[in-house]
Amino acid sequence: MTNKKIGVLLLLMALFSFGAQAQLTTSVKINEVLVVNEDNFVDDYGKRHPWIELFNNSAGTVDLRGCYLTDIDWKGKKPDVKKMYMIPKGDVLTKIPPRQHTLFWADNEPTRGTFHVNFTLSPDKDNYIALYDADGTTLIDEIVIPAGQRADVSYGLDVDGSGKWGTLSKVTPSTNNVTLDSNEKIENFQRNDSWGIGMTVTAMAVVFLGLLILFLVFKQIGNIAINASKRNAQKAAGEGTTLAANAGQESGEIFAAIATALYEMSDDNHDIENTVLTIRKVQRSYSPWSSKIYTLRQSPNKK
């Protein structure tokens, strides 16, 4: 009984794993195709051939092993896997990371490696391309490339994995179909503010706003300090004493007068240099610490 439960559990795990794999492979999309390659991307042999770009439109890694690529439209009849190109198993490069691409070469030379299919593309006719799941019957994605494609001009989705098919202004093998090679903000300023007046006014407004904020902050800090000094003065004077309304806010003239008076009263404590204050040492002729009566220098009493 236990062995049967284990067998059923393993079977369910295998089915779940297969279902998860199938679900992931269905998220792969044919993303971009170049039919005429005269001066574009080269393969691992240094040759230029038509190429097909696939895109993983999911958030998980997808393994394309066992899936099929074909240029035959099997609608209305059973697909013949012997005439399609099966993506080899056991190659780690068939795993496409999330939101990434992989490139297959339509050179009709499958013996050259995993990413070289058994058919090619022609600019003189419509080119049908389809991707089938590993069961050989489930169609994952398909596209018809119109005849008359220009050299080194690709045909693909305007947004990776979705959007509309059309001629792309920039050929992007193994990278995003929409790439940013300019600074949109700078271009916007060039169009709408070529003289830089708006930028100057904005910069000055930011500076003055910052200064205003600093002024308000420091003013508030000053008010807090004045209130604290008033509270301290009230504590020092006593609870029953009434302080002046401007206590703690005396003018600079008052402090200058006090400083002058202190300076005049301390003339005797200054050297020739007015800025040097001399602290006079008080000397005493007698100190109890130096008295002999407090020392141990006495002859012992002999009895």
Mean pLDDT of all residues belonging to the chain: 81
Tell me the backbone φ, ψ of residue 248, rounded to 5 degrees: 90, -5
Give the span between the Cα atoms of 217 and 274, in whole angstroms: 39
User: What are the DSSP calls for 208-270, one per residue?
Assistant: HHHHHHHHHHHHHHHHHHHHHHHHHHHHHH-TTPPPPTTTT---HHHHHHHHHHHHHHTGGGB
pLDDT at 202: 86
**H or E element, residue 139:** strand 139-145
What confidence tens digit (pLDDT) does each residue in 148-171 have? 999 999 999 988 988 899 998 888
Percent pLDDT > 90 in the chain is 46
Residue type, 135: D
Quick check: 300 pLDDT over 70? no
Please report where in the chains the tokens 């190109």 appear, as a residue: 85
**Full-model pTM:** 0.56
**84 CB neighbour count, 10 Å cutoff:** 21
165 strand-pairing partners: 157
User: What are the DSSP calls for 144-158, one per residue?
Assistant: EEPS-PPTT--EEEE
Give the span between the Cα atoms of 91 and 95, in whole angstroms: 8
Percent pLDDT > 70 in the chain is 71
What confidence tens digit (pLDDT) does each residue in 7-51 have? 656 665 654 454 444 458 889 999 999 999 999 899 999 999 999
**List of domains in the chain:** 2-181 (2.60.40.1260), 197-279 (no CATH)
Angle at 117 between CA 113 and CA 119, to 5 degrees: 145
SS3 state at 289: helix
Give the span between the Cα atoms of 266 and 269, in whole angstroms: 5
pLDDT at 20: 45
What confidence tens digit (pLDDT) does each residue in 225-279 have? 888 877 777 777 666 666 666 665 666 777 788 778 777 766 555 555 555 656 6
- Nearest-Å Rg of the Cα atoms of the chain is 45
7 strand-pairing partners: none
Give the span between the Cα atoms of 133 and 250, in whole angstroms: 89
Mean pLDDT of 182-191: 69
pLDDT at 220: 92
Instruction: Select from 15, 112, 30, 16 the least CA-distant residue to 67.
Output: 30
